Amino acid sequence: MSGFVSKAIGLALLLLPTHLLAQEKTNSIVIVADSRNLTGLTAWWVNVYNESHFYFALLTMVTIPLAGAILGGVADLLMRQIGIDLKSRTLREN
């Protein structure tokens, strides 16, 4: 019976909300990036991050696919220049 009681007490302590436990309230954490030694585009990017995480996330979601499309286009152009044809899908097996 004592095993059941100790397990029930342990489970109750794990499931108690934190405001019922003897914990001090903590202040919110502020997450910022250090922009003191940055200039140009890098400084602008860090300042957008520091001012609004929402705008930073939107800008990142637009920039990453755009950069991928540009780099993919450049890679396709270079492969065409060296003779790799990605448009035809014929397999040459012996």
pLDDT tens for the chain, 94 residues: list them.
678 888 888 777 777 665 565 656 667 777 888 888 999 999 999 999 999 889 999 999 999 999 999 999 999 999 989 988 777 766 666 5
Instruction: Name which of 54, 58, 52 is nearest 33 in CA terms.
Output: 52
pTM: 0.54
| C-alpha span between 47 and 70 (Å, rounded) | 25
